[in-house]
Structure 1
Amino acid sequence: MSNTPTPHNGAKSGEIAKTVLMPGDPLRAKFIAENFLEDYTCFNTVRNMFGYTGTYKGKKVSVMGGGMGIPSIGIYSYELYSFYGVESIIRIGSAGGFADDVKVRDVVIGMAASTNSNFAAQYQLPGTLAPVADFSLLRKAVEVAEEKKISVKVGNILSSDTFYDANTEANDKWKAMGVLAVEMEAAGLYMNAAKLGKKALCILTISDHLYTGEALPAEERQVSFKEMMEIALEIAE
Protein backbone atom coordinates (compact mmCIF):
# COMPACT_ATOMS: atom_id res chain seq x y z
CA MET A 1 0.00 0.00 0.00
CA SER A 2 3.01 2.31 0.42
CA ASN A 3 3.49 2.49 -3.36
CA THR A 4 0.57 4.90 -3.88
CA PRO A 5 0.08 7.05 -5.82
CA THR A 6 1.83 5.29 -8.72
CA PRO A 7 3.23 6.83 -11.93
CA HIS A 8 -0.04 5.85 -13.65
CA ASN A 9 -2.66 6.21 -10.92
CA GLY A 10 -3.13 9.28 -8.75
CA ALA A 11 -5.41 7.59 -6.21
CA LYS A 12 -4.45 7.46 -2.57
CA SER A 13 -4.83 4.37 -0.41
CA GLY A 14 -8.48 3.68 0.40
CA GLU A 15 -9.95 5.61 -2.53
CA ILE A 16 -10.53 2.52 -4.69
CA ALA A 17 -13.08 -0.22 -3.97
CA LYS A 18 -12.30 -3.92 -3.68
CA THR A 19 -14.01 -4.48 -7.07
CA VAL A 20 -13.08 -2.44 -10.13
CA LEU A 21 -14.94 -2.49 -13.45
CA MET A 22 -12.43 -1.86 -16.23
CA PRO A 23 -13.57 -0.80 -19.70
CA GLY A 24 -10.84 -0.03 -22.20
CA ASP A 25 -12.16 3.45 -22.94
CA PRO A 26 -11.78 5.96 -20.06
CA LEU A 27 -14.84 7.83 -21.38
CA ARG A 28 -16.86 4.66 -20.89
CA ALA A 29 -15.67 4.63 -17.28
CA LYS A 30 -16.97 8.19 -16.99
CA PHE A 31 -20.29 7.12 -18.56
CA ILE A 32 -20.71 4.30 -16.05
CA ALA A 33 -19.96 6.58 -13.09
CA GLU A 34 -22.39 9.22 -14.29
CA ASN A 35 -25.22 6.84 -15.17
CA PHE A 36 -24.94 3.96 -12.70
CA LEU A 37 -23.07 5.07 -9.57
CA GLU A 38 -24.27 7.24 -6.72
CA ASP A 39 -22.12 9.73 -4.80
CA TYR A 40 -19.16 9.05 -7.06
CA THR A 41 -15.83 10.85 -6.93
CA CYS A 42 -12.97 10.87 -9.44
CA PHE A 43 -9.78 9.32 -8.07
CA ASN A 44 -7.62 9.41 -11.21
CA THR A 45 -7.00 11.65 -14.20
CA VAL A 46 -3.36 10.73 -14.87
CA ARG A 47 -2.91 10.28 -18.66
CA ASN A 48 -6.67 10.94 -18.90
CA MET A 49 -7.28 7.37 -17.71
CA PHE A 50 -10.29 8.33 -15.64
CA GLY A 51 -11.15 6.40 -12.49
CA TYR A 52 -14.19 6.79 -10.24
CA THR A 53 -15.50 5.31 -7.00
CA GLY A 54 -19.14 5.40 -5.93
CA THR A 55 -21.91 3.09 -4.81
CA TYR A 56 -24.23 0.79 -6.73
CA LYS A 57 -27.23 -0.50 -4.78
CA GLY A 58 -25.33 0.28 -1.60
CA LYS A 59 -22.11 -1.47 -2.67
CA LYS A 60 -18.86 0.45 -3.03
CA VAL A 61 -17.65 0.00 -6.61
CA SER A 62 -14.89 1.57 -8.68
CA VAL A 63 -14.60 1.91 -12.44
CA MET A 64 -11.44 2.82 -14.32
CA GLY A 65 -10.25 2.75 -17.92
CA GLY A 66 -7.68 0.12 -18.81
CA GLY A 67 -6.56 1.27 -22.25
CA MET A 68 -5.95 -0.80 -25.37
CA GLY A 69 -3.91 -3.99 -25.37
CA ILE A 70 -2.29 -6.29 -22.83
CA PRO A 71 0.64 -3.96 -22.00
CA SER A 72 -1.82 -1.25 -20.92
CA ILE A 73 -4.23 -3.35 -18.87
CA GLY A 74 -1.21 -5.24 -17.56
CA ILE A 75 0.11 -2.09 -15.88
CA TYR A 76 -3.21 -0.83 -14.52
CA SER A 77 -4.43 -4.18 -13.22
CA TYR A 78 -1.07 -5.01 -11.61
CA GLU A 79 -1.07 -1.73 -9.72
CA LEU A 80 -4.70 -2.07 -8.64
CA TYR A 81 -4.12 -5.59 -7.34
CA SER A 82 -0.71 -4.95 -5.80
CA PHE A 83 -0.87 -1.42 -4.39
CA TYR A 84 -4.56 -0.58 -3.87
CA GLY A 85 -5.97 -3.71 -2.24
CA VAL A 86 -8.26 -4.53 -5.17
CA GLU A 87 -9.53 -8.12 -5.06
CA SER A 88 -11.59 -8.37 -8.27
CA ILE A 89 -11.32 -6.72 -11.69
CA ILE A 90 -14.11 -7.17 -14.20
CA ARG A 91 -13.13 -6.16 -17.71
CA ILE A 92 -16.07 -4.93 -19.78
CA GLY A 93 -15.52 -4.25 -23.45
CA SER A 94 -16.42 -4.84 -27.07
CA ALA A 95 -15.36 -7.78 -29.19
CA GLY A 96 -15.46 -9.09 -32.73
CA GLY A 97 -17.37 -12.32 -33.17
CA PHE A 98 -15.82 -15.48 -34.60
CA ALA A 99 -18.24 -18.33 -33.87
CA ASP A 100 -21.26 -18.96 -36.07
CA ASP A 101 -23.66 -18.99 -33.11
CA VAL A 102 -22.38 -15.69 -31.73
CA LYS A 103 -24.45 -12.75 -32.87
CA VAL A 104 -24.08 -8.99 -32.71
CA ARG A 105 -25.40 -7.68 -29.33
CA ASP A 106 -24.67 -11.02 -27.62
CA VAL A 107 -22.80 -10.92 -24.35
CA VAL A 108 -19.77 -13.21 -24.31
CA ILE A 109 -18.07 -14.21 -21.08
CA GLY A 110 -14.47 -15.32 -21.34
CA MET A 111 -14.07 -18.59 -19.45
CA ALA A 112 -10.52 -18.69 -20.83
CA ALA A 113 -8.45 -16.30 -22.90
CA SER A 114 -6.13 -17.63 -25.59
CA THR A 115 -3.55 -15.16 -26.84
CA ASN A 116 -0.81 -14.49 -29.38
CA SER A 117 0.92 -12.27 -26.81
CA ASN A 118 4.29 -13.04 -25.24
CA PHE A 119 3.13 -11.69 -21.85
CA ALA A 120 3.48 -15.06 -20.11
CA ALA A 121 7.18 -15.33 -21.02
CA GLN A 122 8.04 -13.30 -17.91
CA TYR A 123 6.96 -16.22 -15.70
CA GLN A 124 9.47 -18.62 -17.32
CA LEU A 125 7.00 -21.50 -17.12
CA PRO A 126 8.00 -24.97 -18.32
CA GLY A 127 4.99 -25.10 -20.64
CA THR A 128 2.01 -23.10 -21.88
CA LEU A 129 -0.27 -21.36 -19.40
CA ALA A 130 -4.04 -21.36 -20.03
CA PRO A 131 -5.30 -18.04 -18.56
CA VAL A 132 -8.76 -18.56 -17.04
CA ALA A 133 -11.42 -16.48 -15.31
CA ASP A 134 -12.38 -16.71 -11.67
CA PHE A 135 -15.17 -19.29 -11.52
CA SER A 136 -17.15 -17.61 -8.74
CA LEU A 137 -17.41 -14.38 -10.75
CA LEU A 138 -18.18 -16.28 -13.93
CA ARG A 139 -20.97 -18.28 -12.31
CA LYS A 140 -22.54 -15.16 -10.82
CA ALA A 141 -22.38 -13.38 -14.19
CA VAL A 142 -24.17 -16.22 -15.95
CA GLU A 143 -26.85 -16.33 -13.24
CA VAL A 144 -27.46 -12.57 -13.48
CA ALA A 145 -27.65 -12.76 -17.28
CA GLU A 146 -30.21 -15.54 -17.08
CA GLU A 147 -32.29 -13.60 -14.55
CA LYS A 148 -32.25 -10.56 -16.82
CA LYS A 149 -32.91 -12.68 -19.94
CA ILE A 150 -29.75 -11.43 -21.61
CA SER A 151 -28.37 -13.61 -24.41
CA VAL A 152 -24.97 -14.84 -23.24
CA LYS A 153 -22.30 -17.22 -24.53
CA VAL A 154 -19.51 -18.62 -22.35
CA GLY A 155 -16.25 -20.02 -23.67
CA ASN A 156 -12.78 -19.33 -24.98
CA ILE A 157 -11.91 -15.88 -26.31
CA LEU A 158 -8.80 -14.55 -28.03
CA SER A 159 -6.74 -11.67 -26.65
CA SER A 160 -4.82 -10.50 -29.69
CA ASP A 161 -1.83 -8.18 -29.80
CA THR A 162 -2.62 -7.37 -33.43
CA PHE A 163 -5.69 -5.43 -34.52
CA TYR A 164 -4.42 -5.34 -38.10
CA ASP A 165 -2.91 -8.80 -38.58
CA ALA A 166 -0.61 -9.48 -41.54
CA ASN A 167 -1.50 -13.18 -41.24
CA THR A 168 -4.79 -13.32 -43.15
CA GLU A 169 -5.43 -16.93 -42.03
CA ALA A 170 -5.07 -16.29 -38.30
CA ASN A 171 -8.77 -15.72 -37.59
CA ASP A 172 -9.77 -18.90 -39.42
CA LYS A 173 -7.38 -20.95 -37.30
CA TRP A 174 -8.66 -19.53 -34.01
CA LYS A 175 -12.27 -19.99 -35.12
CA ALA A 176 -11.54 -23.61 -36.02
CA MET A 177 -10.47 -24.18 -32.40
CA GLY A 178 -13.82 -22.99 -31.07
CA VAL A 179 -12.77 -19.50 -30.03
CA LEU A 180 -15.91 -17.36 -29.73
CA ALA A 181 -14.61 -13.83 -30.21
CA VAL A 182 -11.54 -11.60 -30.27
CA GLU A 183 -10.54 -8.69 -28.02
CA MET A 184 -7.17 -7.39 -26.80
CA GLU A 185 -6.83 -7.45 -23.01
CA ALA A 186 -8.34 -10.36 -21.07
CA ALA A 187 -5.39 -12.77 -21.17
CA GLY A 188 -3.07 -10.24 -19.54
CA LEU A 189 -5.66 -9.47 -16.86
CA TYR A 190 -6.20 -13.18 -16.16
CA MET A 191 -2.45 -13.79 -15.86
CA ASN A 192 -1.94 -10.92 -13.44
CA ALA A 193 -4.84 -12.19 -11.33
CA ALA A 194 -3.42 -15.72 -11.30
CA LYS A 195 0.07 -14.58 -10.34
CA LEU A 196 -1.18 -12.27 -7.59
CA GLY A 197 -3.90 -14.56 -6.18
CA LYS A 198 -6.76 -12.26 -7.19
CA LYS A 199 -10.03 -12.54 -9.15
CA ALA A 200 -10.70 -11.51 -12.74
CA LEU A 201 -13.45 -11.84 -15.33
CA CYS A 202 -13.97 -10.51 -18.84
CA ILE A 203 -17.49 -9.69 -20.05
CA LEU A 204 -17.82 -8.58 -23.67
CA THR A 205 -20.48 -7.29 -26.00
CA ILE A 206 -20.24 -8.36 -29.64
CA SER A 207 -20.09 -5.11 -31.58
CA ASP A 208 -19.33 -6.69 -34.96
CA HIS A 209 -18.85 -10.12 -36.50
CA LEU A 210 -15.73 -10.82 -38.52
CA TYR A 211 -17.43 -13.45 -40.71
CA THR A 212 -21.02 -12.31 -41.20
CA GLY A 213 -20.16 -8.64 -41.60
CA GLU A 214 -22.78 -7.62 -39.05
CA ALA A 215 -21.92 -4.51 -37.08
CA LEU A 216 -23.67 -2.54 -34.38
CA PRO A 217 -24.59 1.00 -35.45
CA ALA A 218 -22.95 3.63 -33.28
CA GLU A 219 -26.27 4.83 -31.87
CA GLU A 220 -27.15 1.32 -30.68
CA ARG A 221 -23.84 0.49 -29.01
CA GLN A 222 -24.52 2.43 -25.82
CA VAL A 223 -27.86 0.66 -25.28
CA SER A 224 -26.42 -2.80 -25.92
CA PHE A 225 -23.35 -2.14 -23.78
CA LYS A 226 -25.61 -1.24 -20.85
CA GLU A 227 -26.58 -4.91 -20.44
CA MET A 228 -22.93 -5.88 -20.02
CA MET A 229 -22.40 -3.03 -17.56
CA GLU A 230 -25.41 -4.07 -15.48
CA ILE A 231 -24.18 -7.68 -15.25
CA ALA A 232 -20.77 -6.49 -14.07
CA LEU A 233 -22.24 -4.10 -11.50
CA GLU A 234 -24.58 -6.76 -10.12
CA ILE A 235 -21.73 -9.21 -9.45
CA ALA A 236 -19.41 -6.65 -7.86
CA GLU A 237 -18.41 -7.93 -4.43
Structure 2
Amino acid sequence: MWFYKDDYTKPVFTSEEQVQSEHGNKGILELPKTAILLYMKGLDYIKEKYDVELITEHFPGFLNACPLYKIKGQNEICFLDGGRGAPMAVDTIEICKALGVQNIISVGSIGGFESDIEIGDIVIPDKAFVEEGTSLHYYETIEYSTPNDDLFQRLVQFIPDCRVAPIISTDAVFRQTFYKETLWRKKGCVGVDMETSALMSVGRYLGLNVASVLMVSDKHPIHEDEVWQWRMTKELRQQMLFQVIDFALSLSYT
Protein backbone atom coordinates (compact mmCIF):
# COMPACT_ATOMS: atom_id res chain seq x y z
CA MET A 1 0.00 0.00 0.00
CA TRP A 2 1.38 3.37 -0.99
CA PHE A 3 -1.24 5.81 0.33
CA TYR A 4 -0.05 7.67 3.41
CA LYS A 5 -2.80 9.26 5.51
CA ASP A 6 -0.36 11.85 6.89
CA ASP A 7 0.79 12.91 3.40
CA TYR A 8 -0.69 16.36 2.82
CA THR A 9 1.74 17.36 0.09
CA LYS A 10 0.47 17.98 -3.43
CA PRO A 11 1.42 15.88 -6.48
CA VAL A 12 4.58 16.91 -8.30
CA PHE A 13 2.33 17.56 -11.30
CA THR A 14 -1.42 17.18 -11.73
CA SER A 15 -3.71 16.13 -14.57
CA GLU A 16 -4.69 19.80 -15.01
CA GLU A 17 -1.03 20.75 -15.38
CA GLN A 18 -0.45 17.86 -17.78
CA VAL A 19 -3.25 19.13 -20.05
CA GLN A 20 -1.66 22.58 -20.21
CA SER A 21 1.90 21.34 -20.63
CA GLU A 22 3.93 21.02 -23.82
CA HIS A 23 3.67 17.27 -23.29
CA GLY A 24 -0.11 17.56 -23.29
CA ASN A 25 -2.29 19.42 -25.78
CA LYS A 26 -3.17 23.03 -25.05
CA GLY A 27 -5.72 23.09 -27.88
CA ILE A 28 -8.39 21.12 -25.98
CA LEU A 29 -10.38 23.21 -23.52
CA GLU A 30 -13.36 21.00 -22.70
CA LEU A 31 -14.78 17.60 -23.64
CA PRO A 32 -18.36 16.29 -23.78
CA LYS A 33 -19.73 15.24 -20.39
CA THR A 34 -19.78 11.51 -21.25
CA ALA A 35 -16.74 9.55 -22.42
CA ILE A 36 -16.76 5.98 -23.70
CA LEU A 37 -13.40 4.34 -23.03
CA LEU A 38 -12.49 1.31 -25.11
CA TYR A 39 -10.41 -1.50 -23.63
CA MET A 40 -10.76 -3.74 -26.67
CA LYS A 41 -10.96 -3.27 -30.45
CA GLY A 42 -13.80 -0.94 -31.37
CA LEU A 43 -12.83 2.33 -33.01
CA ASP A 44 -12.98 0.82 -36.50
CA TYR A 45 -16.48 -0.53 -35.83
CA ILE A 46 -17.68 2.88 -34.65
CA LYS A 47 -16.29 4.52 -37.78
CA GLU A 48 -18.10 1.94 -39.95
CA LYS A 49 -21.52 2.69 -38.43
CA TYR A 50 -21.38 6.34 -37.36
CA ASP A 51 -20.30 9.55 -39.04
CA VAL A 52 -17.48 10.47 -36.67
CA GLU A 53 -15.49 13.63 -36.21
CA LEU A 54 -11.92 13.79 -34.93
CA ILE A 55 -11.58 16.07 -31.91
CA THR A 56 -7.81 15.68 -31.75
CA GLU A 57 -5.12 13.24 -32.82
CA HIS A 58 -3.46 13.69 -29.43
CA PHE A 59 -5.55 13.10 -26.31
CA PRO A 60 -3.35 14.81 -23.71
CA GLY A 61 -2.75 11.84 -21.45
CA PHE A 62 0.65 11.32 -19.88
CA LEU A 63 0.71 7.66 -20.94
CA ASN A 64 -2.11 7.46 -23.46
CA ALA A 65 -1.74 10.00 -26.28
CA CYS A 66 -4.36 8.57 -28.66
CA PRO A 67 -6.96 9.95 -31.12
CA LEU A 68 -10.18 11.31 -29.64
CA TYR A 69 -13.51 11.29 -31.50
CA LYS A 70 -17.15 12.28 -31.30
CA ILE A 71 -20.17 11.57 -33.47
CA LYS A 72 -20.78 14.43 -35.91
CA GLY A 73 -23.53 16.78 -34.79
CA GLN A 74 -23.58 15.18 -31.32
CA ASN A 75 -21.79 17.00 -28.53
CA GLU A 76 -22.80 14.86 -25.55
CA ILE A 77 -20.36 11.94 -25.91
CA CYS A 78 -16.79 11.30 -26.99
CA PHE A 79 -14.86 8.08 -27.32
CA LEU A 80 -11.25 6.98 -27.26
CA ASP A 81 -9.02 4.04 -26.49
CA GLY A 82 -8.65 3.85 -22.72
CA GLY A 83 -5.21 2.27 -22.72
CA ARG A 84 -4.21 -1.10 -21.32
CA GLY A 85 -3.89 -1.86 -17.63
CA ALA A 86 -4.75 0.12 -14.52
CA PRO A 87 -2.06 2.87 -14.78
CA MET A 88 -3.08 3.88 -18.31
CA ALA A 89 -6.78 3.60 -17.46
CA VAL A 90 -6.40 5.96 -14.51
CA ASP A 91 -4.20 8.36 -16.48
CA THR A 92 -7.05 8.53 -19.01
CA ILE A 93 -9.83 9.27 -16.52
CA GLU A 94 -7.72 11.80 -14.61
CA ILE A 95 -7.27 13.73 -17.88
CA CYS A 96 -10.96 13.29 -18.76
CA LYS A 97 -11.87 14.80 -15.40
CA ALA A 98 -9.54 17.75 -16.00
CA LEU A 99 -11.30 18.36 -19.34
CA GLY A 100 -14.83 18.41 -17.93
CA VAL A 101 -16.02 14.82 -18.39
CA GLN A 102 -18.58 13.71 -15.78
CA ASN A 103 -19.60 10.21 -16.88
CA ILE A 104 -17.23 7.39 -17.82
CA ILE A 105 -18.46 4.19 -19.46
CA SER A 106 -15.72 1.64 -20.00
CA VAL A 107 -16.15 -1.10 -22.59
CA GLY A 108 -13.86 -4.09 -22.47
CA SER A 109 -13.45 -7.81 -22.17
CA ILE A 110 -12.91 -10.30 -19.38
CA GLY A 111 -11.59 -13.79 -19.12
CA GLY A 112 -14.41 -15.90 -17.72
CA PHE A 113 -13.60 -18.56 -15.14
CA GLU A 114 -16.99 -19.47 -13.75
CA SER A 115 -18.62 -22.70 -14.98
CA ASP A 116 -21.91 -21.25 -16.24
CA ILE A 117 -20.51 -18.20 -18.00
CA GLU A 118 -19.96 -18.35 -21.75
CA ILE A 119 -17.97 -16.49 -24.41
CA GLY A 120 -20.08 -13.58 -25.64
CA ASP A 121 -21.92 -13.06 -22.34
CA ILE A 122 -22.17 -9.39 -21.31
CA VAL A 123 -21.24 -8.69 -17.69
CA ILE A 124 -21.94 -5.40 -15.90
CA PRO A 125 -19.90 -5.59 -12.67
CA ASP A 126 -21.55 -4.52 -9.42
CA LYS A 127 -18.12 -4.68 -7.78
CA ALA A 128 -14.53 -5.28 -8.84
CA PHE A 129 -12.04 -6.73 -6.38
CA VAL A 130 -8.69 -4.95 -6.35
CA GLU A 131 -5.58 -6.90 -7.30
CA GLU A 132 -4.00 -3.99 -9.16
CA GLY A 133 -1.63 -1.52 -7.58
CA THR A 134 -2.95 1.81 -8.86
CA SER A 135 -5.95 1.99 -6.51
CA LEU A 136 -3.61 1.73 -3.52
CA HIS A 137 -2.11 5.11 -4.35
CA TYR A 138 -5.56 6.67 -3.84
CA TYR A 139 -6.87 4.67 -0.85
CA GLU A 140 -5.17 3.55 2.34
CA THR A 141 -6.94 0.20 2.06
CA ILE A 142 -9.49 -1.06 -0.46
CA GLU A 143 -10.82 -4.58 -1.05
CA TYR A 144 -13.09 -3.80 -3.97
CA SER A 145 -14.58 -0.87 -5.86
CA THR A 146 -18.13 -0.28 -7.06
CA PRO A 147 -19.73 1.62 -9.96
CA ASN A 148 -21.74 4.80 -9.69
CA ASP A 149 -25.14 3.49 -8.64
CA ASP A 150 -27.27 5.63 -10.96
CA LEU A 151 -25.17 4.91 -14.05
CA PHE A 152 -25.01 1.22 -13.13
CA GLN A 153 -28.78 0.91 -12.70
CA ARG A 154 -29.46 2.68 -15.99
CA LEU A 155 -27.04 0.37 -17.82
CA VAL A 156 -28.61 -2.76 -16.36
CA GLN A 157 -32.06 -1.58 -17.43
CA PHE A 158 -30.83 -0.64 -20.91
CA ILE A 159 -29.05 -3.98 -21.52
CA PRO A 160 -31.55 -6.47 -20.03
CA ASP A 161 -29.71 -9.58 -21.25
CA CYS A 162 -26.59 -8.68 -19.25
CA ARG A 163 -25.31 -10.52 -16.22
CA VAL A 164 -24.66 -8.55 -13.03
CA ALA A 165 -21.79 -10.07 -11.07
CA PRO A 166 -18.49 -9.25 -9.35
CA ILE A 167 -15.19 -9.45 -11.22
CA ILE A 168 -11.56 -9.00 -10.24
CA SER A 169 -8.84 -6.82 -11.79
CA THR A 170 -5.18 -7.81 -11.79
CA ASP A 171 -1.87 -6.49 -13.07
CA ALA A 172 -0.31 -9.89 -13.77
CA VAL A 173 -1.62 -11.60 -16.90
CA PHE A 174 0.54 -14.67 -16.49
CA ARG A 175 -0.05 -15.12 -12.75
CA GLN A 176 -3.73 -15.99 -12.99
CA THR A 177 -3.13 -19.40 -11.45
CA PHE A 178 -5.68 -22.17 -10.89
CA TYR A 179 -5.24 -21.64 -7.15
CA LYS A 180 -6.03 -17.91 -7.42
CA GLU A 181 -9.01 -18.42 -9.69
CA THR A 182 -10.48 -20.87 -7.16
CA LEU A 183 -10.19 -18.15 -4.51
CA TRP A 184 -11.73 -15.60 -6.90
CA ARG A 185 -14.72 -17.86 -7.53
CA LYS A 186 -15.24 -18.14 -3.76
CA LYS A 187 -15.59 -14.34 -3.70
CA GLY A 188 -18.36 -14.64 -6.30
CA CYS A 189 -16.27 -13.39 -9.22
CA VAL A 190 -17.08 -14.59 -12.73
CA GLY A 191 -14.12 -13.12 -14.63
CA VAL A 192 -10.93 -11.08 -14.63
CA ASP A 193 -9.65 -7.97 -16.40
CA MET A 194 -6.91 -5.40 -15.83
CA GLU A 195 -8.70 -2.04 -15.51
CA THR A 196 -12.18 -2.05 -13.98
CA SER A 197 -11.36 -1.95 -10.27
CA ALA A 198 -9.04 1.04 -10.79
CA LEU A 199 -11.50 2.86 -13.05
CA MET A 200 -14.26 2.57 -10.46
CA SER A 201 -12.13 3.27 -7.37
CA VAL A 202 -10.32 6.29 -8.80
CA GLY A 203 -13.48 7.47 -10.54
CA ARG A 204 -15.20 7.61 -7.16
CA TYR A 205 -12.16 9.37 -5.67
CA LEU A 206 -12.38 12.01 -8.42
CA GLY A 207 -16.16 12.42 -8.15
CA LEU A 208 -16.82 10.88 -11.58
CA ASN A 209 -19.74 8.61 -12.48
CA VAL A 210 -18.11 5.38 -13.67
CA ALA A 211 -19.54 2.04 -14.78
CA SER A 212 -18.21 -0.80 -16.94
CA VAL A 213 -19.68 -3.09 -19.58
CA LEU A 214 -17.62 -6.19 -20.29
CA MET A 215 -17.87 -9.14 -22.64
CA VAL A 216 -16.51 -12.60 -21.93
CA SER A 217 -13.81 -12.95 -24.58
CA ASP A 218 -12.22 -16.19 -23.44
CA LYS A 219 -13.07 -19.10 -21.16
CA HIS A 220 -10.50 -20.15 -18.60
CA PRO A 221 -10.25 -23.85 -17.78
CA ILE A 222 -11.34 -24.73 -14.25
CA HIS A 223 -9.17 -27.87 -14.10
CA GLU A 224 -5.56 -28.16 -15.23
CA ASP A 225 -6.34 -30.85 -17.82
CA GLU A 226 -8.75 -28.54 -19.69
CA VAL A 227 -7.85 -26.13 -22.50
CA TRP A 228 -8.01 -22.31 -22.49
CA GLN A 229 -10.35 -21.00 -25.20
CA TRP A 230 -10.54 -17.68 -27.08
CA ARG A 231 -13.55 -17.39 -29.38
CA MET A 232 -14.55 -13.72 -29.27
CA THR A 233 -15.63 -12.42 -32.68
CA LYS A 234 -15.93 -9.06 -34.39
CA GLU A 235 -19.71 -9.46 -34.47
CA LEU A 236 -19.93 -10.00 -30.70
CA ARG A 237 -17.79 -6.92 -30.02
CA GLN A 238 -19.84 -4.81 -32.40
CA GLN A 239 -23.13 -5.85 -30.82
CA MET A 240 -22.02 -4.84 -27.33
CA LEU A 241 -20.31 -1.64 -28.42
CA PHE A 242 -23.31 -0.35 -30.35
CA GLN A 243 -25.55 -1.04 -27.35
CA VAL A 244 -23.24 1.03 -25.16
CA ILE A 245 -23.16 3.93 -27.65
CA ASP A 246 -26.97 3.88 -27.90
CA PHE A 247 -27.09 3.96 -24.10
CA ALA A 248 -24.66 6.89 -23.90
CA LEU A 249 -26.72 8.82 -26.44
CA SER A 250 -29.82 8.24 -24.29
CA LEU A 251 -28.31 9.74 -21.14
CA SER A 252 -29.96 12.91 -19.90
CA TYR A 253 -27.99 13.91 -16.82
CA THR A 254 -28.82 17.33 -15.45
TM-score when scaled to structure 2?
A: 0.78
Q: Does 2:219 correspond to 1:222?
A: no
From 160, 174, 180, the equivalent of 1:170 is 180
Letter in 2 for 1:45: H
Q: Pick from 60, 64, 69: which aligns with 2:80? A: 64
1:11–1:96 CA distance, 2 compared to 1 (3 A)? farther
**CA apart distance, 1:8:** 5.2
Which residue of the partner structure matches residue 206 of structure 1? 216
Partner of 1:75: 91
Aligned to 2:5: none
Q: Structure 1 vs Structure 2: percent identity of aligned residues?
A: 19
* Matching residue of 1:135: 149
> Is 1:189 paired with 2:199?
yes
Match of 2:112 in 1: 97
Among 66, 76, 85, which residue is 2:100 paired with? 85
- Structure 2: how far apart are the matches of 1:96 and 1:184? 10
Give the superposition deviation at 1:101: 2.0
Confirm or deny that 1:234 pairs with 2:239: no
Across the two proteins, how many residue pairs are aligned to each other?
224
Alignment match of 1:111 (pick from 120, 123, 126): 126
Contact (CA 8 Å) 1:24, 1:66: kept in 2 or not? yes
Amino acid paired to 1:136: D
Seen in structure 2, the aligned counterparts of structure 1 residues 177 and 39 have a Cα distance that, compared at 3 Å, is closer
Does structure 1 residue 38 correspond to structure 2 residue 51? yes
Confirm or deny: 8 A CA contact 1:39 1:54 kept in the other structure: yes
Indicate the residue corresponding to 2:71 in structure 1: 54
2:42 and 2:237 in contact (8 A); partners too? no
Q: CA deviation at 1:157?
A: 0.8
Indicate conservation of the 8 Å contact 1:74/1:192, yes or no: yes
Q: Please give the root-mean-square deviation of Cα atoms over the aligned residues, in Å.
A: 2.5
Distance 1:190 1:224, change over 3 A: same
Cα shift at 1:136: 1.6
CA distance, structure 1, for counterparts of residue 58 and residue 42 of structure 2: 14
The correspondence of residues 141-160 of structure 1 with structure 2, limited to 5 A, is: 141-146=155-160, 151-160=161-170
Structure 1, gaps ≥5 residues long: none
